[in-house]
């Protein structure tokens, strides 16, 4: 595959942008290549500036569940742009999106719109602290919740690949408010509650971990967290930035029949635009300014263009529930192809990861056992086959409604040839 133009552009970008990219995982360092520069994308395909056409399983790292540039979303965005890009004043569109979210996600009675998943989780935690009057939180090793200071502790994906256990620039004091437990490890959570229970404001979890590769929760683990938080007066926060509108329209809370106190959303909810959200019980959300004492704000929060992309995306998903059955079925076809190659596969709906280990992968430690050299070789082989997967072992493969039977068949055959 010829990628000369991309490499030249990357050299140029490196002069002006640190590491040549605006988000570290895009740099392809884990697979020891230069990143592809993208010209356009449509449906299931992405096109780089050298003219290569690739079946895309990155899907912008999750948002593009309808595939790239879906007509309904693009048309709605074009139309709304004509009316102005940002007002910094309320619009009916925001209420419309908020209502769609409240109707979709059982645990959300009220919701605040923000501009990134990072902001959503950071703000949900502030709300939890404000509501409980407590300081500490529990997070799980290998779960990623964005790059805010207190959450860059054992934070998965980009940081796993780069082998940076923590980020520089985060004062130890911040990290000391973040306690880490083992994903799927109930005992580690019990120990933390025994030791510091009175000061734990919240447990935050990816209900299906998808930033250390996909790692589903063990049977009963989420129920256990629901019980132990309730008993100790702490809140349970589901970080559904990936799983929201992905596992099913109602997200992981609905999928696993668990009602967390707060939920964060991102990626799909913005339909490819910078938009995220957090919400939960009205009683908790009422702590937010101007209704309550917890401050959280944003110049571009609820931006009309982003909100319109979100409304159009959710409306499409709501009108076509059959999408979920199809993308889950396609996920299983790919999972089976990887299994036949002897890889360990974790799948939850249309999210999956094949690990280069004979498994099982149930937590951060076991995810780290995957052979990264073998992953890098697999990544390059897939590119040669015209298939674009995330350039890291610790990311999910995302399947969209635009992936056709032919795309899936071609991918299955490429996996067979590995
Ligand atoms: C992507 C992600 C985030 C951060 O969202 P950004 O929009 O990149 O800031 C937070 N939590 C989870 C689970 C994510 O996958």
**Residue 267 among the catalytic residues:** yes
Assess whether 51 and 169 both reside in one domain: no
Q: Has residue 50 been placed in a domain?
A: yes
**Residue 131 among the catalytic residues:** no
Assess whether 40 and 127 both reside in one domain: no
**Residue 239 among the catalytic residues:** yes
If pLDDT is split at 50, 70 and 90, which confidence band does 159 have? low
* Count: domains in the chain: 2
Q: Has residue 207 been placed in a domain?
A: yes
Take residue 278 and report the two structure tokens written for it. Answer: 């957090």
Assess whether 210 and 254 both reside in one domain: yes
Atom index in ligand 1 nearest the CA of residue 121 equals 10
Q: Is 205 in the pocket of ligand 1 (CB under 6 A)?
A: no
Cα 418 to middle of ligand 1, angstroms:
31
Take residue 310 and report the two structure tokens written for it. Answer: 């979100």
Q: Is 144 in the pocket of ligand 1 (CB under 6 A)?
A: yes
pLDDT tens digits for range 73-125:
999 999 999 999 999 999 999 999 999 999 999 999 999 999 999 999 999 99
Assess whether 92 and 162 both reside in one domain: yes
Take residue 139 and report the two structure tokens written for it. Answer: 């997070």
Spatial neighbors of 105 by CB under 8 A, at least 6 apart, are 240, 244, 250, 251, 253, 254, 263, 265, 279
Q: How many Cα atoms sit within 13 Å of 178 on the Cβ side?
A: 27
Strand (E) positions, 141-290? Answer: 178-181, 200-205, 235-240, 262-265, 276-280
Q: How many Cα atoms sit within 13 Å of 233 on the Cβ side?
A: 13
pLDDT tens digits for range 186-204:
999 999 999 999 999 999 9
* 319, 339, 372 - which closes a domain: 319
Assess whether 132 and 13 both reside in one domain: no
Assess whether 151 and 50 both reside in one domain: no
Assess whether 37 and 77 both reside in one domain: no
* 10, 33, 57 - which closes a domain: 57
Assess whether 187 and 52 both reside in one domain: no
pLDDT tens digits for range 260-319:
999 999 999 999 999 999 999 999 999 999 999 999 999 999 999 999 999 999 999 999
Which pLDDT does position 175 carry in this prediction?
A: 82
pLDDT tens digits for range 232-246:
999 999 999 999 999
Q: Is 211 in the pocket of ligand 1 (CB under 6 A)?
A: yes
Q: Has residue 399 been placed in a domain?
A: no
- Quick one: which of 382, 356, 380 has its CA closest to 368? 356
CATH number at residue 285: 3.40.640.10
Distance of alpha carbon 7 from alpha carbon 27, whole angstroms: 11
Is the pLDDT at 390 greater than 70? The verdict is yes
pLDDT tens digits for range 347-381:
999 999 999 998 899 999 999 999 999 999 999 99
Kindly state the helix (H) or strand (E) to which residue 246 belongs, with its residue range: none
Q: Has residue 124 been placed in a domain?
A: yes
Q: pTM of this prediction?
A: 0.97
Assess whether 162 and 284 both reside in one domain: yes
Domain around 46: 1-57
Q: Please pick, among 34, 239, 261, 363, the residue that the annotation labels catalytic.
A: 239
pLDDT tens digits for range 13-43:
999 999 999 999 999 999 999 999 999 999 9
Nearest alpha carbon, ligand 1 atom 11: 145
Distance of alpha carbon 187 from alpha carbon 239, whole angstroms: 21
Q: Has residue 383 been placed in a domain?
A: no
């Amino acid at each position: 595959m010829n990628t000369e133009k991309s490499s030249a552009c990357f050299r140029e970008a490196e002069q002006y942008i640190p590491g040549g990219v605006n988000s570290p995982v895009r740099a392809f360092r884990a697979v020891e290549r230069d990143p592809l520069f993208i010209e356009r994308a449509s449906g299931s395909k992405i096109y780089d500036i050298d003219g290569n056409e690739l079946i895309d399983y990155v899907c912008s790292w999750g948002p593009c569940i309808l595939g790239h540039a879906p007509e309904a979303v693009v048309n709605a965005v074009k139309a709304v742009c004509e009316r102005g890009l940002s007002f910094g004043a309320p619009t009916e569109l925001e209420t419309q999106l908020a209502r769609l979210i409240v109707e979709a996600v059982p645990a959300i009675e009220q919701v605040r719109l923000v501009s990134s998943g990072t902001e959503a989780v950071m703000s949900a935690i502030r709300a939890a602290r404000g509501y409980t009057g407590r300081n500490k939180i529990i997070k799980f090793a290998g779960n990623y919740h964005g790059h805010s200071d207190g959450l860059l502790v054992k934070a998965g994906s980009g940081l796993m690949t780069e082998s940076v256990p923590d980020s520089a620039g985060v004062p130890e004091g911040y990290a000391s408010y973040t306690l880490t437990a083992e994903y799927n490890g109930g005992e580690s959570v019990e120990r933390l509650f025994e030791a510091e229970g009175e000061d734990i404001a919240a447990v935050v979890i990816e209900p299906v971990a998808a930033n250390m590769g996909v790692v589903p929760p063990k049977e009963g683990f989420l129920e256990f967290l629901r019980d132990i938080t309730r008993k100790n007066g702490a809140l349970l926060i589901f970080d559904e930035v990936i799983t929201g509108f992905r596992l099913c329209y109602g997200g992981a809370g609905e999928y696993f029949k668990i009602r967390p106190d707060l939920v964060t959303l991102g990626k799909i909810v913005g339909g490819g635009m910078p938009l995220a959200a957090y919400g939960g019980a009205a009683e908790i959300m009422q702590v937010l300014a101007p209704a309550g004492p917890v401050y959280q704000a944003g110049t571009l929060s609820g931006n009309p263009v982003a909100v319109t992309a979100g409304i159009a995306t959710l409306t499409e998903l709501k009108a076509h529930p059959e999408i979920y059955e199809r993308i889950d079925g396609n996920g299983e076809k790919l999972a089976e192809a990887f299994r036949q190659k002897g890889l360990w596969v974790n799948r939850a709906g249309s999210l999956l990861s094949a690990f280069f280990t004979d498994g099982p992968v149930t937590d951060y430690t076991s995810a780290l056992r995957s052979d990264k050299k073998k992953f890098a070789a697999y990544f390059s082989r897939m590119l040669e086959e015209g298939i674009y997967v995330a350039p890291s072992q610790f990311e999910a493969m995302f399947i969209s409604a635009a992936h056709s039977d032919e795309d899936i068949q071609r991918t299955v055959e490429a996996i067979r040839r590995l």
